[in-house]
Amino acid sequence: MTQRAMTLSVKIASVAVFLAIVFIAVPVLIAASGRTDLYYTLTSVALLSIASAGVWLTFYIGRINIGQGAYALMGGYVSAILVVNHGWSFWPTLPVAGLFCAAASVLIGLPILRLRGVYFAMVTLTLTEVARLLALALPITNGAKGMVSIPLPGALSVFGLTIIPDFATLRNSRLAFYLLAVTLMVVCFAVMYRLVHSRIGKLCQSLQQNEELASSIGVNIAYLRVIAYAVSSFFGGVAGAIFAAISQSIYPSSFTVTDSVNFMLNCFLGGLGYVFGPMLGTLVLYFGWDLLFQTGQFQLLIYSGLMIVLMLVLPNGLLSLAAPTRKN
């Protein structure tokens, strides 16, 4: 067997093991333990990793994105408004929320993506706060009161065949949300992996190394930046829409600047050189923060210190421990 075939076999086996864990092992273990509250925790991790994956993609084109919380907030409000005010089913609001955020990111990104990295980062830092203030000011978002009593997702039928049952009729809607979140997470990272290993992905990678050189050989830098930023924002919008459905509410404070920073830290912690870095980073950061809660007033101090040490010792993230010579 050739080296390439062996590598492919290892990748397929790894994917099969991962799918078996998230779709079979986790539900079985939770059912055995009776800890159904863990479904909500793991659902949150899956959705946060989807939003973080979008941030990773902007890192991949050499830009630091600290505004993903804005698109998660917008996605949540778009879905909630369509469901509550216009009577839409939840399911079509998912792609609509993502596309709305992607369109907004194109309008925002066209001017600011021309800025150098540090200026782009500073501008995106303000986006989440701008989105929060808009949510407070616009009548359609119901201001500070937010939008509450958002109904659970209804049934999804195709040609009369029910593909997804009405969540309100399920005995355990948390399991349904968990399966929805991890399914979208798998799809999200599969798309990311395919994109990174495509021709466009290789061109995006060239932007990290030398934008002037990439431009000199005919690479349309502005086009690639806008595409990557739009895909990034799409992921954020979809994650925000599901968060609103799970909590059955959305408020201007549902996503803050702190969330945007955490999305970025998830990427650093997992590994900026690895497609699946945001997934691992989100898992470790989420449970690590909860674990440090036991330290009381020293929680933030210990957390900050550990993050600094990890970035100094493992500049390529946690995944560099398992594959120090391989990326993506």
- Percent of the chain clearing pLDDT 90 (strictly above): 59
Low-confidence winner among 25-29, 51-55, 114-118 (lowest mean pLDDT): 114-118
Average pLDDT, the chain: 89
Question: What is the pLDDT, as a whole number, of residue 219?
Answer: 74
CB neighbourhood size of 76 (10 A): 30
State pLDDT tens for residues 232-273.
999 999 999 999 999 999 999 999 999 999 999 999 999 988
- Comparing 107 with 11, which gets the higher pLDDT? 107
**For 28-39, what is the mean pLDDT?**
92
pTM given for the model? 0.92
State pLDDT tens for residues 193-242.
999 988 888 888 777 767 776 777 677 787 888 999 999 999 999 999 99
Question: What is the pLDDT, as a whole number, of residue 185?
Answer: 96
Question: What is the pLDDT, as a whole number, of residue 325?
Answer: 47
State pLDDT tens for residues 312-323.
888 888 998 876
Question: What is the pLDDT, as a whole number, of residue 222?
Answer: 78
- pLDDT score of 324 more than 70: no
Question: What is the pLDDT, as a whole number, of residue 8?
Answer: 76
Question: What is the pLDDT, as a whole number, of residue 304?
Answer: 86
State pLDDT tens for residues 147-173.
999 999 999 988 888 889 999 898 889
